[in-house]
A and B are shown apart, each in its own frame.
Chain A
Amino acid sequence: MDKPVNQGAWLLVLPVLLIVAFSAILPLMTVVNYSVQDTFGNNQFFWNGIGWYQELLDPSTDLGGRFFDALWRNLLFSLLILLIEVPLGIAVALSMPRHGWRVAATLVVLALPLLIPWNVVGTIWQIFAREDIGLLGWAVNRLGIPYNYTADPLSAWVTIVAMDVWHWTSLVALLCYAGLRSIPDAFYQAARIDGASRWAIFRNIQLPKMHRVLLIAVLLRFMDSFMIYTEPFVVTGGGPGNSTTFVSIDLVKLALGQFDLGKAAALSIVYNLIILAVCWVFYTVMTRMDAQRN
Chain B
Amino acid sequence: MGLVLDKVSRHVGGHAHIENVSLTLERGSLNVLLGPTLSGKTSLMRLMAGLDTPSAGRILVDGVDVTGRHVRERSVAMVYQQFINYPSLSVYENIASPLRVARRPKDEIDRKVREAARLLKLDPYLQRTPQQLSGGQQQRTAIARALVKEAQLVLLDEPLANLDYKLREELREELPKIFAATGAVFVYATTEPAEALLLRGNTATLWEGRLAQFGRTPDVYRRPANLTSARVFSDPPLNTMRVHKRGLQIVLATGEHGPARGVLAELPDDDYTIGFRADHLHLERPHADAVALRGVVAVSEITGSESFVHIDLPRTDGGQFGGGADRWVAVTRGVLEVEPGERIECFIDPRRLFVFGHDGRLAAAPPLVMAA
Q: Are B70 and A6 in contact (CB under 8 A)?
A: yes
Q: Are A4 and B67 in contact (CB under 8 A)?
A: yes
Q: Are A1 and B56 in contact (CB under 8 A)?
A: yes
Contacts of B55 in A (CB 8 A): 1
A3 at the interface (CB under 8 A from B): yes
B324 at the interface (CB under 8 A from A): no
Q: Are B53 and A3 in contact (CB under 8 A)?
A: yes
Contacts of B68 in A (CB 8 A): 3-6
Contacts of A6 in B (CB 8 A): 68, 70
Q: Are B70 and A3 in contact (CB under 8 A)?
A: no
A residues whose Cβ falls under 8 Å from a Cβ of B: 1, 3-6
C-alpha spacing A258/B192, complex, angstroms: 77
4 closest pairs, A vs B, by CB?
A4-B68, A1-B56, A3-B68, A1-B55
A-B contact pairs, 11 of them (CB 8 A): A1-B55, A1-B56, A3-B53, A3-B54, A3-B67, A3-B68, A4-B67, A4-B68, A5-B68, A6-B68, A6-B70
C-alpha spacing A33/B115, complex, angstroms: 70
Contacts of A3 in B (CB 8 A): 53-54, 67-68
C-alpha spacing A6/B70, complex, angstroms: 9
B70 to A, closest residue via Cβ: A6
- Count CB-based A-B contacts (< 8 Å): 11
What is the 8 Å Cβ interface bit string for chain B, positions 48-61, against chain A (1 contact, 0 not)? 00000111100000
Contacts of B70 in A (CB 8 A): 6
- Separation in Å of the B12 CB from the closest CB of chain A? 14
Contacts of B54 in A (CB 8 A): 3
Interface residues of B in 38-93 (CB under 8 A from A): 53-56, 67-68, 70
- Separation in Å of the B52 CB from the closest CB of chain A? 12
C-alpha spacing A6/B53, complex, angstroms: 12
Interface residues of B in 327-344 (CB under 8 A from A): none
A5 to B, closest residue via Cβ: B68
Contacts of B67 in A (CB 8 A): 3-4
9 more contacts with CB within 8 A, not counting A1-B56, A3-B53, are A1-B55, A3-B54, A3-B67, A3-B68, A4-B67, A4-B68, A5-B68, A6-B68, A6-B70
Contacts of A1 in B (CB 8 A): 55-56
C-alpha spacing A4/B56, complex, angstroms: 12
- Separation in Å of the A116 CB from the closest CB of chain B? 32
Contacts of B56 in A (CB 8 A): 1
A9 to B, closest residue via Cβ: B70
A4 to B, closest residue via Cβ: B68
C-alpha spacing A5/B68, complex, angstroms: 7
B65 to A, closest residue via Cβ: A4
Contacts of A4 in B (CB 8 A): 67-68
- Separation in Å of the A4 CB from the closest CB of chain B? 4
- Separation in Å of the A11 CB from the closest CB of chain B? 15
C-alpha spacing A1/B54, complex, angstroms: 10
What is the 8 Å Cβ interface bit string for chain B, positions 10-52, against chain A (1 contact, 0 not)? 0000000000000000000000000000000000000000000
Interface residues of B in 117-151 (CB under 8 A from A): none
- Separation in Å of the A12 CB from the closest CB of chain B? 13
C-alpha spacing A3/B10, complex, angstroms: 13
- Separation in Å of the A212 CB from the closest CB of chain B? 20
Contacts of A5 in B (CB 8 A): 68
C-alpha spacing A6/B54, complex, angstroms: 15
A3 to B, closest residue via Cβ: B68
C-alpha spacing A229/B68, complex, angstroms: 50
- Separation in Å of the B82 CB from the closest CB of chain A? 15
- Separation in Å of the A82 CB from the closest CB of chain B? 34
C-alpha spacing A5/B69, complex, angstroms: 9
C-alpha spacing A1/B67, complex, angstroms: 13
- Separation in Å of the A128 CB from the closest CB of chain B? 43
- Separation in Å of the B21 CB from the closest CB of chain A? 16
C-alpha spacing A5/B54, complex, angstroms: 12
C-alpha spacing A87/B24, complex, angstroms: 59
- Separation in Å of the A192 CB from the closest CB of chain B? 27
B69 to A, closest residue via Cβ: A4
C-alpha spacing A3/B68, complex, angstroms: 7
- Separation in Å of the A260 CB from the closest CB of chain B? 51
B53 to A, closest residue via Cβ: A3
- Separation in Å of the B175 CB from the closest CB of chain A? 31
B55 to A, closest residue via Cβ: A1
- Separation in Å of the B17 CB from the closest CB of chain A? 15
C-alpha spacing A104/B222, complex, angstroms: 59
- Separation in Å of the B63 CB from the closest CB of chain A? 17
- Separation in Å of the B168 CB from the closest CB of chain A? 24
C-alpha spacing A3/B47, complex, angstroms: 14
- Separation in Å of the A5 CB from the closest CB of chain B? 7
C-alpha spacing A239/B56, complex, angstroms: 66
B68 to A, closest residue via Cβ: A4
C-alpha spacing A54/B70, complex, angstroms: 54
C-alpha spacing A1/B68, complex, angstroms: 12
C-alpha spacing A1/B56, complex, angstroms: 7
C-alpha spacing A6/B55, complex, angstroms: 16
C-alpha spacing A1/B55, complex, angstroms: 7
B11 to A, closest residue via Cβ: A1
- Separation in Å of the B1 CB from the closest CB of chain A? 21
- Separation in Å of the A184 CB from the closest CB of chain B? 15
C-alpha spacing A3/B50, complex, angstroms: 13
C-alpha spacing A218/B205, complex, angstroms: 48
- Separation in Å of the B67 CB from the closest CB of chain A? 7
- Separation in Å of the B276 CB from the closest CB of chain A? 40
- Separation in Å of the B258 CB from the closest CB of chain A? 51
B56 to A, closest residue via Cβ: A1
Interface residues of B in 269-318 (CB under 8 A from A): none
Interface residues of B in 172-231 (CB under 8 A from A): none
C-alpha spacing A3/B56, complex, angstroms: 8
C-alpha spacing A4/B67, complex, angstroms: 8
C-alpha spacing A3/B54, complex, angstroms: 9
C-alpha spacing A3/B70, complex, angstroms: 13
- Separation in Å of the B203 CB from the closest CB of chain A? 30
- Separation in Å of the B177 CB from the closest CB of chain A? 38
